[in-house]
Structure 1
Amino acid sequence: MDSLEKLLDDAGTEEKIEIFCELSETYWQRSYDTSLLMSIHAYTLALNIDNKELIAKSLNMTGNAYYLMGDFTKSMDHYLQALAIREELGDSNSIASSYNNIGAVYVQMKDHQKALYYLKKAKIIFEALQDEVHLFSIMNNIGALYKENAKYDTAYQYLTEAYEIAQRTQDEDNASIALTNLGETSLSMGLLEQSLDYQNRALEISRKLGNKAMMATIYTNLGKTYLETRNYLQAFNAFHESLGLSEEVNSLPDLRENYHYLSEYYDIQGDYEQALHYYRLYASTKDSINSQEAMIRIKEMESISQAQTLQQEIALLRKDNEISNLKATRLKNTIFFLAAVSLMIILVFVVYYQKNRLKRETTRLLEEKNKQLEKANLKLQNSEKHLKELNSTKDKFFSIIGHDLRNPLNALLGFSELISGNSRDYTSEEIQRYSKIINEAAKNIHLLIENLLEWSRSQSGNIDYNPEQTELMPMVREIFKVFEIHADKKGVTLVSEIPQDIVVTADRNLLSTILRNLINNAVKFTPNGGQVRIFCEQNDSEITISIEDTGIGMSEKQLDNLFRLDSNVTMPGTSEEKGTGLGLILCKEFVDMHNGKIWAFSKPKEGSTFSFTLPLKAR
Structure 2
Amino acid sequence: MIRPDTLARIACLAALAGALGCPAAPAAPPRPKPTAVLDSLRHRAAALPPDTARAQTLNELGYALAQLGQFAEARPVLRQAQRLSERLHFATGQVRALTGLGTSYQNEGQFPRARAVLDSAVALGQRLGEQRRLGAALLGRARLCNAQDDYACALASVQAARQFFAARGDWAHTAQALNGLGSIYVNRGDYPRALAALFEAVQLARRHHDAQTEVNSLGNIGNTYLKQEEYAQALRAYEQLLPRLDSVPDQRVRPIVYQNMATAMTHLHRPETEAYFQKSMAGFEALHEPADVGQVLGSYAHFLLESGRRPEAIRAYARALALLRAADDNNAAADVLNGLARAYRQGGQPALAAARAREALALAQRIHDVADVQAAASLLAGLAKAGGDYRRALAYTEQAQAANDSLFSRAKSEQIGRLQGDFQLGQERARRQALARTSAAQAETLRLRQRQLRGLVAGLVAVALGGLVLAWLARQLRRRNRLVEKQRAELTELNATKDRLFSIIGHDLRAPLHALHAFVELVSGPALPPERLRQYTRHLTQTLDQTLILLENLLSWAALQMRVAGPPRTEALALAAAVDDAFALLGPAAEAAGLALHSTLAGGEWVRADPAAVRLVLRNLLGNALKFTPAGGRVTVAAAPHGPGWQLAVADTGRGLPVPTPRQLLPPAGLPRRPAEGPGRAPGAGLGLVLSRDYARRSGGELEVASAGPGQGTTFYLSLPAAEAELIEANEPKTNKALVK
Q: TM-score, normalised by structure 1?
A: 0.45
RCO higher in 1 or 2 (8 Å CA, sep ≥ 6)? Answer: 2
Q: TM-score, normalised by structure 2?
A: 0.38
Report which of the two has the higher share of helix. 1
